[in-house]
Chains A and B, each alone.
Chain A
Amino acid sequence: MLNIKNLHAGVDQKNILKGINLEVNPGEIHAIMGPNGAGKSTFASIIAGKEDFEVTQGSILLEGEDLSDLSPEERAHKGVFLSFQYPVEIPGVTVTNFIKTAINQTRKAQGLEDMPAGEMLQKIKTVSEMLDIDRKFLSRSLNEGFSGGEKKRNEIFQMAMLDPKLAILDETDSGLDIDALRIVASGVNKLRNEKNAVIVITHYQRLLDHIVPDFVHVLMDGKIVKSGTKELAYELEEKGYDWIKEALK
């Protein structure tokens, strides 16, 4: 589904990603781990199409289609979803209004009519029950005054509503207490199927107890330096990253 080849990218002449190769197939969950400053969030932003970064080499293909020339919204319309590490606040715009706009804009891009109000309401109801979200939450301004956990839950709520092909969860576990983590993880697990894929970006192995990855990759200094199965995550948790650095020398 996602095919990344020799991806080099950076900002203001500074290289951040230095040749990343990654293949993600439908139904798979990949975890990307690594120390601070390794380029994990940059990697997520570049897949989503953030224009601050310049791709200097390589390609990103989604279902065979090159994403390079597509705007962030076009990528979203093709099924790319990014759960932000720091979701932004939009005062005065309710969670409901925001997601409604997002869904209908996506449908419009796909040549579909707006989602009928009844269907929208039903979907909101189902998803908010699944994620244990209070109805009052839906009429609050987007992320305004939300706790860290509420912000992350809201990201997963939007993910569930938009039903993406490829979801990238950027540090979704940060700021979550154990109960919230469990709810968020169970939401992600319920959304999994053989047609979609998930990339989980995290510092810690903790989240991976709940969202079990098929593959774990270690990102260091702009490159994937080691790949393995979920056991690799345990190893990292235990030993830290230094041993990999050493091994690379």
Chain B
Amino acid sequence: MGKFTEDDLKKELETKEYEYGFYTDIESETFPVGLNESIVRAISEKKEEPEWMTQWRLEAFKVWQAMQEPEWANVHYEKPDFQNISYYSAPSKKPKYDSIDEVDPELLDTFNRLGISLDEQKKLAGVAVDIVMDSVSVATTFKDTLAKKGIIFCSISEAIREYPELVQKHLGTVVPQKDNYYAALNSAVFSDGSFCYIPKGVRCPMELSTYFRINQAGTGQFERTLVIADQDSYVSYLEGCTAPSRDENQLHAAVVELIALDGAEIKYSTVQNWFPGDKNGKGGVYNFVTKRGLCETRAKISWTQVETGSAVTWKYPSCILKGDHSIGEFYSIAVTNNFQQADTGTKMVHLGKNTRSTIISKGISAGHSQNSYRGLVKISPRATNARNFSQCDSLLMGNLCGAHTFPYIEVENKTAKIEHEATTSKIGEDQIFYCNQRGIETEKAIALIVNGFSKEVLNKLPMEFAVEAQKLLEISLEGSVG
């Protein structure tokens, strides 16, 4: 990790505007704006889905119609007009490609500019990529290698067609359609996403990664991800996002469901870098995400997230520790700058005996931003000997930003042991001067201090992601002091 701090950081810092703010001009087939039952049916039809899936979407749509957009989060924004969004957009040059050569060169160029070209990815040790460009998967690599192990890694649309029994059995079991407003919306209109199944006893030989990217004006993105780790299996899943810059607010309401069966382990890492809006708080992505994992006996789920983007973030990756001896972990870095608002944290729901959870949350606020940690630790009556350790640290830069912590602890079993630690600190002029005096310029000093602050979480990321994440921290906070 040390390598990054020495290398091309300088270059990265030279770019003042949002680095990935370009727009790829690929012909798209986009539905008219608006949402009603026939749009939901049309999405399902477009994707050649079986009848049960169509019905499932329609149920969700009915539920959603009766729900209210939640207002309890510590964020303020103009509510999206859900009737002014197009709910489906697919690249029109759509044949499934056998090789990368067949992929639209402009798309490849986009990924090249993001520094995640497929060519590079192929060379990178052990990273399979399933790209979601707008709403439909256009390229999948490494499928063969995975297939030999019996691992299924494909788009959720493909999974619905090819593995209907697996999808039908698990979809919505962790995040039900009626779970919350955005989850219901997602269930009705999800366009695509990823599906992953690791068979019993199999250790996935490579990191699985998906790059999401919002690309069409006014197109909401509604990914649906389902990861199933069968008994005693292991998988590490990476998710990274970038989006082109534009003025219109873009809605993103994803749902991620993780299922770790007995003895299985899922590591889910996210680096999120969607357009956060400009310096004046104009534009930016609204990110309302529901992520939850279910742990059966002796299973383990780790969420690691680095959140640097989005104008508004509403996100609580959670673990339901259903099985005895199961383990849930949440490691998070949330950075807000300018006028960004983030309300993020986790829920650890202890149901089984001897369950353990760890929460490490690092919030970094700069500019006029507001950064909130919101977390729930719940110990149910049956959860004997449950353990939780929570640590919430906030780092403030400047005098105009805010850091907030909303920890909720509900204990219904006397044997529980819960620890909560929290700190708030500020990058001081003294720290900066000290670094300056040693020849370290201010931008680099901030990078150093922020990286030090975030280290415990960065260390949890897979190597190649850690480097990318560190760069994102720099870019996000660049120019925020002095």
Residues of A near any B CB (own CB < 8 A): 48-52, 71-73, 75-77, 81-82, 84, 87-88, 90-93, 97-106, 109, 114, 141-142, 158, 162
Contact = CB atoms under 8 A, between A and B. Distances in A.
Contact of B439 (A87, A91, A97, A106): A106
Given A102-B440, A141-B452, 16 more contacts: A48-B437, A73-B440, A75-B437, A76-B436, A77-B439, A90-B448, A91-B453, A92-B452, A92-B453, A93-B451, A100-B2, A101-B440, A101-B444, A101-B448, A105-B438, A109-B439
Interface in B263-312: none
Interface in B422-459: 428-431, 433-442, 444, 448-449, 451-456
Interface residues of B, number: 26
B440 A88 contact: no
A102 B438 contact: yes
B6 interface: yes
Given A87-B434, A88-B430, A88-B431, A105 B452 contact: no
A76 B438 contact: yes
Given A76-B438, A102-B438, A105-B444, A88 B428 contact: yes
B437 A82 contact: yes
A50 B438 contact: no
B441 A73 contact: yes
Nearest to B444: A105
A73 B449 contact: no
5 contacts: A88-B430, A92-B453, A93-B452, A101-B444, A104-B6
B6 A76 contact: no
Nearest to A110: B439
B5 interface: yes
Contacts of A87: 434
Interface of B: 2, 5-6, 428-431, 433-442, 444, 448-449, 451-456
Nearest to A84: B434
B449 A114 contact: no
Contacts of A52: 429
B126 to A, nearest CB: 26
Contacts of B453: 91-92
A52 B338 CA distance: 25
Contacts of B439: 73, 76-77, 102-103, 105-106, 109, 162
Nearest to A141: B452
B473 to A, nearest CB: 12
Contacts of A114: 6
Interface majority SS on B: helix, strand, loop or mixed? helix
The CB with the most chain A CB atoms within 10 A, among B438, B440, B455, is that of B438
B436 A71 contact: yes
Contact of A50 (B433, B444, B454): B433
Contacts of A71: 436, 441
Contacts of B430: 88
A101 B434 CA distance: 13
Contact of A76 (B437, B449, B454): B437
A72 B454 contact: no
Contact of A73 (B5, B6, B431, B436): B436
Contacts, number: 82
Contacts of A103: 439
B62 to A, nearest CB: 49
Nearest to B440: A105
A122 B441 CA distance: 26
B441 to A, nearest CB: 5
A51 B141 CA distance: 54
Nearest to B395: A91
Contacts of A81: 437
A75 B428 CA distance: 21
Contacts of A49: 436-437
B5 A90 contact: no
A98 B451 CA distance: 12
A88 B455 contact: no
Contacts of B2: 97, 100
A97 B5 contact: yes
B39 to A, nearest CB: 49
Contacts of B6: 100-101, 104, 114
A117 to B, nearest CB: 10
A77 B440 CA distance: 9
B125 to A, nearest CB: 22
A229 B130 CA distance: 75
Contacts of B438: 76, 98-99, 102, 105, 158, 162
Contacts of A141: 452
A101 B9 CA distance: 12
A219 B358 CA distance: 55
B135 to A, nearest CB: 39
A72 B437 contact: yes
Given A73-B440, A76-B439, A92 B455 contact: yes
Contacts of B435: 90, 102
Contacts of B431: 88, 90
Nearest to A80: B437
A105 B435 CA distance: 11
A75 B436 CA distance: 9
Contacts of B455: 92
A111 to B, nearest CB: 14
B45 to A, nearest CB: 53
Contacts of B452: 90-93, 141-142
A157 to B, nearest CB: 12
**Most chain B beta-carbon neighbours within 10 Å: one of A72, A75, A102:** A72
Given A102-B439, A102-B440, A92 B5 contact: no
A75 B440 CA distance: 11
A93 B448 contact: yes
Q: Which 6 A-B pairs have the closest CB atoms?
A: A92-B452, A93-B452, A72-B436, A76-B439, A102-B438, A106-B439
Given A101-B5, A114-B6, A92 B454 contact: yes
Nearest to A161: B438
A139 to B, nearest CB: 12
B429 to A, nearest CB: 8
